Homo-oligomer: A and B are copies of this chain.
Amino acid sequence: MNTFGRILRLGSFGESHGEALGGMIDGFPAGVPIDMELLRSDLRNRRPGQVSGSGRQESDQIEILSGVYQGKSLGTPIGFIIRNQDAHSADYAELEHLFRPGHADDTYHHKYGLRDARGGGRASARETAVRVAGGAFAKMLLRTQNVQVHAYTQSIGNIALPDSAEVNLPVDSALVSRCPHEATDSAMRKLLEETRRKKDSVGGVVACVATGVPIGWGEPVYDKLSARLAYAMMGINAARGFEIGCGFEASRMNGSRHNDTWLANGKTQEDLCGGVRGGISTGEPLYFRVAFKPVPSIAQPQDLLGEDGQLHRMEISGRHDVCCVPRAVSVVEAMTALCLADFMLLARSSRI
């Protein structure tokens, strides 16, 4: 269950403070040019930032172990590892028998009967480095069909990108919040600093757009493109909601409004469906949003639940993000790319 995809599959392993994270990408077609710079830059974008980030310093050097030869994919599995170097496991010693609020400590403990408490173990968002690496390979494959995936920060707390803002993608990496609008980025930055000062954290929303997807990707009924995207997004740490096209707003609309008007060129006037009709891509841009809850690690005094059934009041140390959203932008892109690349290959079998 640590594998994502049907034909193009990313398998992932690794705990936050274990030896290494790693993955294998299976079903990746032969002959795709491998762009190491894209891979490195995507991993860089996921790393902790100055303002929102956790302070953990991981260089995230990736080592490709197989599947690539003379700059191209071989068609065999691409294995890779990323070593953990800056783990401060001592920070977690006192948490070994305690369950933090809002974390998966208790659920892991009860599911498995034991757990690696160091750095959150397998539940840590550190695993998303594997997704970003896998996503970079998926992007290389999608590029051969001119499909582009770009995510960005839509809102943090109550500060949202104005509807009127013109969005230029990809987001300029100088924008700390990953919100493609300078004024909003400044406001978000201020909010993040203030939140850190209050030893608190805050949630937000990531938006994503994919262009160049041809008509016909996605499998109707249970494996709709929208359903697989929702699955991919809700599998990201801290995700709490997903909506495509008009999303929840569609629930308040009439059919006469939501039924977008056909243009003679086969496009619609407003692409209100977000590029998916009946679970299949329409050829228009895909767009959707993902809601993230606030990071549960905060430095205020809180009650922890002990395995002993007692409450233990304490301040949790450790290095944590104030908000996961700026880093989640890379992860949303990666999972979207993996999802689309899988459908790209599946679509090759739709017709004789």
- Interchain CB contact (< 8 A) of A24 among B24, B200, B224: B24
**Any chain B CB within 8 A of the CB of A90?**
no
Output the least CB separation between A56 and chain B (Å).
18
A window 64-107: CB within 8 A of B: 64-67, 69-70, 72-79, 81, 99, 101-104, 106-107
Given A65-B81, A111-B347, the answer on whether A1 and B246 have CB atoms closer than 8 Å is: no
**Any chain B CB within 8 A of the CB of A219?**
yes
Bound CA span A57–B214, Å: 38
Q: From A297, which residue of chain B is reached at the shortest CB distance? A: B255
**Any chain B CB within 8 A of the CB of A162?**
no
Residue-by-residue, is A212-235 near B (CB-CB < 8 Å gives 1, otherwise 0)?
A: 000110111111101111111111
Output the least CB separation between A220 and chain B (Å).
6
Q: From A83, which residue of chain B is reached at the shortest CB distance? A: B65
**Any chain B CB within 8 A of the CB of A293?**
yes
**Any chain B CB within 8 A of the CB of A63?**
yes
Q: Which of A14-22, A164-172, A177-185 contacts B (4 or more CB under 8 A)?
A: A14-22
In the bound complex, do residue A252 and residue B203 qualify as a contact, i.e. CB atoms below 8 Å apart?
Answer: yes
**Any chain B CB within 8 A of the CB of A193?**
no
In the bound complex, do residue B65 and residue A13 qualify as a contact, i.e. CB atoms below 8 Å apart?
Answer: yes
In the bound complex, do residue B2 and residue A24 qualify as a contact, i.e. CB atoms below 8 Å apart?
Answer: yes
Output the least CB separation between A104 and chain B (Å).
2
Chain B contacts for A309, CB-based, 8 A: 264, 266
Bound CA span A69–B76, Å: 31
Interface size, chain A (Cβ < 8 Å): 152
A window 11-43: CB within 8 A of B: 11-15, 18-24, 26-27, 29-32
Residue-by-residue, is A262-288 near B (CB-CB < 8 Å gives 1, otherwise 0)?
A: 101010100001100111111100000
Output the least CB separation between A52 and chain B (Å).
13
A window 301-329: CB within 8 A of B: 302-305, 309-311
In the bound complex, do residue B311 and residue A122 qualify as a contact, i.e. CB atoms below 8 Å apart?
Answer: no
**Any chain B CB within 8 A of the CB of A135?**
no
Chain B contacts for A278, CB-based, 8 A: 103-104, 107-108, 123, 237
Bound CA span A127–B116, Å: 30
In the bound complex, do residue A11 and residue B30 qualify as a contact, i.e. CB atoms below 8 Å apart?
Answer: no
In the bound complex, do residue B293 and residue A246 qualify as a contact, i.e. CB atoms below 8 Å apart?
Answer: yes
In the bound complex, do residue A251 and residue B104 qualify as a contact, i.e. CB atoms below 8 Å apart?
Answer: no
Chain B contacts for A67, CB-based, 8 A: 13, 15
**Any chain B CB within 8 A of the CB of A151?**
no
**Any chain B CB within 8 A of the CB of A58?**
no
Chain B contacts for A102, CB-based, 8 A: 255, 258-260, 273, 277
A window 192-223: CB within 8 A of B: 195, 200-205, 215-216, 218-223
Bound CA span A56–B256, Å: 22
Bound CA span A72–B204, Å: 38
**Any chain B CB within 8 A of the CB of A174?**
no
Chain B contacts for A274, CB-based, 8 A: 240
